[in-house]
Structure 1
């Protein structure tokens, strides 16, 4: 059971009108609550992911229902204003402990305490907690002291000593709201708690946000290495629950598992327990091809600048001394003024009398005064757009990199194009830029996860028939439209939480079904594709059911309207051992489907590879 005390005890609300009068009124209510022990406890379950059993409860405090201090936010704001925070916290602990014991709830009590109240010299009453626990008929090993940090902690040595003291008494330690507090990661490193609770901000939407997924995955990896158990709080959807289960997160909490209640259930709702017991893996959110935010700092070259007072003869000598130097920036008081091109200067000095006329004049004479300048925070993608829209000479001259207007160095157009090209190649492997569907790497990773889980699934290879001649006749832009709509059709007929849709490349797609009704979904895909594809043809071709195009030998050939072929293999546990085998078998099934005229579905009923 978790008593959520420090969570709420250090929050504040805006000042009320007529503050002194309001404080006096709230003070009267608070004194009545303390004198009459007018607090009640609600409990919310915490669930073990792999078994679905409840391992404890979080206790939430409420004031009297007819009081302005019913809300815990108002209750603890009043306590802080009147310097009664410790008294209110102590009463909360008593009420929740006693009610927890009275209800005989299973599992542990996680008792939330702010770090500053954990220290003995600041809270004499916390040392009485052990006595209260025993009076309630509980044992210390049923309690976990959960540290909620709403104010910064600096005295880590004193914190370690306090934690050691409570561990020696039999309590365990947890850190609450990891990712929200001031230094919760430092606390984790210093105290080595038995549990960490990940803040709900990183949990809600984890099934659709790749950044949140990576955050939780990183926390889980740290937890495994430090023998810490992770509790994910704030779960409101089944998809969130299953993604977290697949990541290996130990425990879960949230409205989807059970709302706070004065007399909570001692078992999970049947539908939640069924979902947790179901075999299979969840579909992880994917990074899109557009998520290219790398900074241009990786292109930075330290290039010595010259002041505008330097004459052209001296700049020319610098170029002669370094044959590889192509550009010299002109900078005054750290502010970039322009660029001098090696070839521009040599070209000028090669003309009759140019050196005699301009050699002793300022180097600004031959300077490009409108160079391409970008701050160090500029992304590679944004800079490439600017480069394309700028004059062509910027691609050769390169660009100046600044830090809030101060000169840092140079970048070359060649380096920029190389990085952008590599990013596009990498992006295509992870997410197809045309459809934004996952590419080959995520497809293979998901297949490997399915194989490791030992679950049954179906691999469906999807391929368009007569796509290349369609491209030849109608153009690549129309072909791209067909590929995009095919991706949308495939996605619309799959379960986003159970079925994985990937884009292998070109007009090839892969669906990894866990849905038992996969065949019905495939038929719906074929029906919708047949209805939509005719829109991409001219009226004449649509009426005659095809079009004329040249084959590879240059002969005129009649092609039917495009159709979609689906080749499916069923993958039973331990039937295949790698994504390579899956890809080979699914490709063979696709070839069989393409032998069937029109939109077709072929299921390979043979048993496994090498059959």
Structure 2
């Protein structure tokens, strides 16, 4: 290959067959735009589509990596980038796809022709699309050298209505600096941190921290590269809002308009333990702690296992399996090394198999076991067995080894995240946890009742008696709801004087429980008033029109929505129904239970 240099830009002579092919592709505009859905993880609906470019199927430039590498060597990256943009916009418009269009854009082109001439806006105008529907997704084919110029370009795009995303955070030149300097609307996490996140505690901790930071900055995180049910479930439990990957759909010339997850995956999701049992904490499982330390068969000879431990000093425990891949025992490093402490050990154990020396006393847990229950199981285990535990699938087959230090780290992180999400006054789970519990209850395919609880005349009480007294009233109601709720029920605090109950079972169980709450509330609420106000039946104060009126003693309005198995609704749908029911309940005088009988 002959290479010629022109000033500061590399030019490749036409004898390069890939460059010749690139010339033909650009001239014929024979690039193919594909689209991959980006999914709203809470609603499980398509949020938008990322446009991805491929070269002609019969061309050596079909791969985007080869295509862009060749354009870079030929000094035609910007030209290629603009052509990709135009073709993607045209195809997106022709398909009539809903949601946002995520356009991959190189920073280099953003500060050159397109920045000066507004080519993207003109492409959109010709296609009949508005700038508000497009997200400029900055890729890292080349580094950003001048952030001041880059910020000016990004601000220019935002002024026209575009939003901005950073692609592959953690994989390129300076993703974190891009995030800090450019304050994007979206950040896409590199697929490396998503792959096997359900089995790698370090990756999961990284993603949890990243999501916490993004919420504080008002930025949405897109987790890309999700391929398995386990990865999807883990992102859902961490509160991941936007998801992308083969799990939902592959890039396609005509992408799906709605999600259609495999029945097997849905059935697997239905068997997961309910978040109601964790009272609003993120539902994390033993499988997420699994380290796949290679197991050994029970017929393997003892010296082979000894070599494993000596070659890997950090290795503490090896699972021993039977012919069907199920654990029958474990080898612990101190025990096995102790067997070879004297000079006669090698001759004594040289021909023995692992089943003769393994420890059959071990803690075995299924990968779907919630961390809270795993913690209790490990704590109750005999001394010496709790440091390591064997993780199996639903059929009892080996999945990996878990270590107590990882369990302690995750329990601590879980407690910290739960505390951040909890209402600061009552300590009860907040709105995010409420939405998650509703979503998981729907997935459980079991009957439950969602109840919205709201105090009446609380503002008048708070104004007359002061904020400290108002806080005591809120805390009293929180205690009442928590005491009445059963072990499998959920109590959340949405904020102010608004609470949410998610109760297990049919209306026949939930209605008496709600009626008992109202009865207890009406008995204790007069104690929060002075004797004079109790005799008067309320508080005398000015209303919003300045008129002197009597506000009755506080009452409690409860709006109950029964949910049957198999309903095709989201957590947001239930929240909307409850808001409507609450408005009906508050029209009634005194403490009220308003039941939705339409469903």
Q: TM-score, normalised by structure 1?
A: 0.47
Q: Which structure has the bigger radius of gyration?
A: 1
